[in-house]
Chains A and B, each alone.
Chain A
């Protein structure tokens, strides 16, 4: 018989995940509505002049390597995986907010 109740850690993750999901879906919905409002606008904004691609690539690769290697340094670090997954959702929600505000 499977256990239908979960641990305190799982319950906390569910609550944090629910809060993140709420904001994610809120910004997604708002960004979608903005896309509808601006669907016929001309793309006459500035050219792509993003200067942080190289440094961003290096930093993200280093962080990913450290995030994997850190599992080997102790049991508590196994929880780093769920934490970065939640942080990724926060970052994507932020990018949707950026789209909304931009």
Chain B
């Protein structure tokens, strides 16, 4: 493989970065404009797509919402680090995390069909306990904000690494593009653009990988080079991959979906007959994306690219190979588009999650008699605020580790109490709240001292033990049937007067 020379593609230049960002954004914007004109005329359309998302859009939307930019890059990075064991431990829990939402999504649609958000369910389940609501609102907001920050950082890193464009400029343009189309269409915008993104996460990677295999010397040479290195790189059974990141990643992924507002909102937005099979298909059809793109990691191993060349960051293996393998420029741009659409679809879904939590759990409880017009405006304001905060954090270079840790701690601590609240009528508000608080208070220092795995185990154990013990001591049973009677949170008294449904297109 010595005849393969890796040099920066001379046709790439900084002037191509922003036009690429904007071109992808304009395609999304055109789609969203159609969606906005024909499908979005009320707050309910905006935050929950009027619960009219069908099977196809549900599957495609979920796949793309779950495909983070880092997921695209990390599949190659873990393969590059651990061989096929890295790809195995990265990929298998990822799809499974989406499939595992099925029992929870099915249950929540059955007991609370008119719901919108996790805090709304917690409020209804625990008699509007303010502490319980505050904790889950905080967790949902921080979780979504982190998704925006991480993905916008991903956008700027790829654009700056591949084209040499200023990273801050790329971040601002990317954020502005997603904000504009998210403001127009809410969840319908997120799902329709994500459906288009799913096409871009499947067909282009197939073309890119076939081109890379050819340019890097052919599959025989690549496979032979990796096999010759031994070290079980072509086996899925290396234990260090499981211990190094696999088990911790699996726990984190399950927490992200089962306790993630982005997935609950889709569960409530789907047509009720389609909920289970949509999550199953989305999880199953997510698998091919990292399985295909992970091959870049094997190519990196075959070409003996050392970590120092990548600036010490294995996640750079994909962008590095694509920009240094002497590939046709349109292949390089196609790869960037794959990453950009992954970023955009996660960010727009996070914006919608922030919007629904603000409308349903903050604005509506504070001002129950708010008009439909004002509520519709309020559905958009938090998206702009979240974008401004994310931009400020990325531009100032402020360390956002605290937000990451807070978000991680709350989401992990909420997971088991939330599951118990959904299935076990004996869970009390005190057990729910103190399970979460004690888990964070004790688990986070353990995480700091003994690492992520032991920290996660401690948080999950404590958050399970307290609601279980207090629940066993509780004789009262919560009546889940009462949740069915809850009024739709975005219904306003002036709705019939102000709503003017858009005529159906011919």
Instruction: Please indicate whether A and B come from the same complex rather than being unrelated chains.
Output: yes
* Residues B56 and A27 in contact, CB atoms below 8 Å apart: yes
Overall SS of chain A's interface: helix
Interface residues of A (CB under 8 A from B): 1-7, 9-10, 13-14, 17, 20-21, 24-25, 27-28, 31-41, 43, 45-50, 52-53, 56-57, 59-61, 63-65, 67-69, 71-72, 74-76, 78-79, 81-89, 91-92, 95-100, 102
A35, B52: Cβ atoms closer than 8 Å? yes
Chain B min CB distance to A53 (Å)? 5
Q: Knowing A20-B203, A21-B203, A40-B501, say if A28 contacts B196 (CB, 8 Å).
A: yes
Q: Which 10 A-B pairs have the closest CB atoms?
A: A96-B56, A60-B284, A99-B56, A72-B234, A75-B223, A82-B206, A50-B276, A99-B54, A81-B292, A85-B292
B474 at the interface (CB under 8 A from A): no
Minimal beta-carbon separation of B263 from chain A (angstroms): 15
Q: A67 to chain B: closest CB distance in Å?
A: 5
Bound CA–CA A28/B64 (angstroms): 15
Q: Assess whether B60 is in contact with A6, with CB atoms less than 8 Å apart.
A: no
A46-B273, A48-B276 known; A98 and B56 CB under 8 Å?
A: yes
Q: Do A13 and B9 touch across chains, with their CB atoms under 8 A apart?
A: no
Binds A, one of B135-143, B169-177, B212-220, B307-315: B212-220
Chain B: how many interface residues by the 8 Å CB criterion?
A: 89
Q: For residue A89, which residues in chain B have a CB less than 8 angstroms away from its CB? A: 198-199, 202-203
C-alpha gap A67/B289 in the complex (Å): 12
> Smallest Cβ distance from A98 to chain B, in angstroms?
5
Q: In angstroms, how far is the closest chain A Cβ from the Cβ of B319?
A: 16
| Complex contact B207–A14 (CB within 8 A) | yes
Interface residues of B, Cβ cutoff 8 Å to A:
9-11, 34-35, 38-39, 45, 50-57, 59-60, 63, 84, 87-88, 91-92, 95-96, 99-100, 102-103, 106, 109-110, 192, 195-196, 198-199, 202-207, 209-211, 213-215, 218-220, 222-224, 234-236, 271-277, 280-281, 283-285, 287-289, 291-295, 298, 326-329, 331, 501-502, 504-505
CB contact under 8 A between A85 and B289, given known A3-B215, A36-B504: yes
CB distance from B63 to the nearest CB of A (A): 7
Q: In the complex the two chains form, is A64's CB within 8 Å of B95's CB?
A: yes
Structural contact, A2 and B283, CB atoms closer than 8 A:
no
Min Cβ gap B257→A in Å is 13
User: Contacts A37-B504, A85-B202, A85-B205: A2 and B327 contacting too (C-beta < 8 A)?
Assistant: yes
- Contact yes or no, A43 B51, CB < 8 A: yes
Whole-angstrom distance between the Cβ of B416 and the nearest chain A Cβ: 21
- Chain A residues with CB under 8 Å of B51's CB are 43
A32 and B213 within 8 A (CB): no
- Could you pull out 23 A-B pairs where Cβ atoms are within 8 angstroms? A3-B215, A10-B210, A21-B203, A24-B199, A31-B57, A39-B45, A39-B501, A39-B504, A41-B52, A47-B110, A48-B109, A48-B276, A57-B96, A57-B284, A59-B284, A75-B224, A79-B210, A83-B206, A84-B287, A92-B60, A99-B55, A99-B57, A102-B54
Query: What is the bound-complex CA distance between A92 and B38, given in angstroms?
Result: 23
Cα distance A48–B91 in the bound complex, in angstroms: 28
* Cβ-defined partner of A2 (8 Å) among B54, B205, B291, B329: B329
Taken together as a complex, chains A and B put the C-alpha atoms of A59 and B283 apart, in Å, by: 12
Per a CB cutoff under 8 Å, which of A25, A69, A92 touches B285? A92
Contact present for B206 and A65 (CB under 8 Å):
no
Q: Select from chain A the residue with minimum beta-carbon distance to B504.
A: A37
B202 touches A88 (CB 8 A): yes
Docked Cα-Cα span, A98 to B277, in Å, equals 12
Question: Would A47 and B285 count as touching, CB distance under 8 A?
Answer: no
